[in-house]
Amino acid sequence: MLTQDAPALHISRIQADKGAHHLFIASNTSRAREMNSVFAGLSTTVFEVMSRLAREHDAVNLGQGFPDDPGPEDVRAKAADAVLNGWNQYPPMMGVPELRHAVARHYREWQGLDLDAEAEVMITSGATEAIAGALFALIEPGDEVVLFQPLYDAYLPLVQRAGGVPRLVGLSPPGWRLTEDVLARAFSPRTRVVLFNNPHNPTGRVFDAEELELLARFCARSGAVLISDEVWEHVVFDGGRHRSVLSLPGMRERAVKIGSAGKIFGMTGWKVGFVCAGPELMRTLSKAHQFLTFTTPPALQHAVAYGLGKEPAWFDGMRAGLQRSRDRLGQGLAARGYEVLPSAGTYFLNIDIGPPATGLDDLSFCRWLVEERGVAAIPLSAFYAEDPVRNVVRFCFAKHDATLDQAMSRLSASNPAIVTN
Ligand code: GLN
């Protein structure tokens, strides 16, 4: 079980363990006790740190997950037009009706969901706001919240700030499977909320029907609400199709589905999120949203409403392009002797750098990679609060061919897990 100061350990414990690593700088200050302990002890997010290091070392940045491409021009043109000619004052708190209806229509067409746009869809300023709002709306201090490691770095501090008691369980590489045993260790009679992510960042896993139904059974049995971060729902490969938790048996009134226009259209700076949940949950979720951000820029909402109605071929083409990039990077890394783990979705693939006995763990590998080779990646241990996996490194492949090729040309043909320096 984690103690209250666990977020401080998020990265800095790993740093302390390894002594010499200076990759991550914790933000502990002597005045920390005047401030909230969850945030005062936190280090800067690994994505920000790695992007800064990438700039400093003029590296190819395959760390933080964002595409090279600026995003679909027609969607950006809609936003520009809406800024110049549209309404720029507060839009309705729940989102502009046009977008709420577009979200409901989009999920009907793509995921077979039957959502009432007026009662079951809300627009937020990004998925992270949606996740924070859902946690604030659902957790009473002391409630247990189930989380799966590796986990996206915002989850744990937000759970703790909401007063939740985290119950962390690990998924194991290379399969990262959600098993009965994993869930039995996580759930207790005090479980109130589960924070889940599918397709999964950073592993690139798309959980299958058996795993999803198992999770639904555990939630229904314990009466827990399932918050499902589905921001990568359109980024699935090899003919796979996303299944939302809202379609799982018993979950229609017990789950909160969260989506993100930034991920669907590859414009990560846009911060337009969607929350879908039954009317009863939504009434309380909307109260958290109204006092977090209240609204989301109306021009972006109109542009996203337009984008969600794009022809299916656009979405298929987007994922086919990303799949080609995944394969290009995967083949490049494999040709250089790295063990590439499967990626069924997201912008990410991982490599296994082998046991630490070789002298390199994920942190020192990433430091070596950015400083000596000019390529930035993300150490997977940054996605852990305890018992980190230390032999896996994440790369973002949502890049132009030229960017991926440049990164590959900077990697020597020999495996740095063996050639230590
Ligand atoms: N979601 C992005 C990633 O996993 C990072 C977002 C951020 O930098 N906060 O790389």
- 180-198 residues labelled b (16+ CB within 10 A) or e (exposed): eebbeebbeeebbbbbbbb
- The whole-number pLDDT of residue 19 equals 31
Tell me which amino acid residue 335 is: A
Give yes or no: residues 302 and 318 share one domain.
Answer: no
The verdict on 85 and 115 lying in the same domain is yes
Instruction: Find the domain containing 398 and state its range.
Output: 3-70+313-418
> Residues of the chain with pLDDT > 90: what percent?
85
| Res 27: pLDDT | 53
- The set of residues, in sequence order, having a beta carbon less than 8 Å from that of 133 and lying 6+ positions away, is 124, 275, 285, 288, 289, 292
CATH code (residue 246):
3.40.640.10
Name beta bridge partners: 351.
Answer: 340, 393
Residues 348-369: what's their mean pLDDT? 88
Neighbours of 410 (CB within 10 A): 14
156 pLDDT above the threshold of 70: yes
- Looking at the fold, whether 348 and 298 belong to one and the same domain comes out as no
Q: Are residues 237 and 385 in the same domain?
A: no
Does residue 90 share a domain with residue 64?
no
Domain boundary (286, 311, 336) is at: 311
Query: Which protein residue's CA is at the shortest distance from atom 3 of ligand 1?
Result: 65
Report yes or no: 55 and 376 within 8 Å, Cβ to Cβ: no
User: Are 202 and 130 found together in one domain?
Assistant: yes
Looking at residue 17, which CATH number applies to its domain? Answer: 3.90.1150.10
CA 267 – ligand 1 centroid, Å = 12
In 157-281, beta strands by DSSP E: 165-170, 191-197, 225-229, 255-260, 273-277
Atom 9 in ligand 1: which residue has the minimum CA distance?
47
286 C-beta closer than 6 A to ligand 1: no
Rounded CA separation 385/49 (Å): 17
In ligand 1, the atom with minimum distance to the C-alpha of 231 is 1
Atom of ligand 1 nearest to the CA of 48: 8
- Residue 296 sits in the same domain as residue 321: no
Residues 49 and 85 in one domain: no
pLDDT of 412: 72
Do 257 and 335 share a domain, yes or no?
Answer: no
325 and 289 belong to one structural domain: no
Is 357 in the same domain as 393?
Answer: yes
Which atom of ligand 1 lies at the shortest distance from residue 128's CA?
9
pLDDT-derived band at 197 (thresholds 50, 70, 90) equals very high
Q: Is 64 close to ligand 1, i.e. is its CB under 6 Å away? A: yes
Ligand 1 site, residue 222, Cβ cutoff 6 A: no
Last residue of a domain, one of 264, 290, 311: 311
Q: Which atom in ligand 1 lies closest to the alpha carbon of residue 65? A: 10
What pLDDT, on the 0 to 100 scale, is given for residue 180?
A: 97
Domain limit, last residue, from 295, 311, 327: 311
Q: How many domains does the chain have?
A: 2
Assess whether 321 and 244 both reside in one domain: no
pLDDT of residue 414: 54
Testing ligand 1's pocket by substitution, the residue of 47, 349, 380 carrying the most ligand atoms inside 8 A of its CB is 47
- pLDDT-based confidence at 43, cuts 50/70/90? confident
Instruction: Choose one of 46, 48, 53, 66 to mutate for the ligand 1 pocket test, by most ligand atoms within 8 angstroms of C-beta.
Output: 66
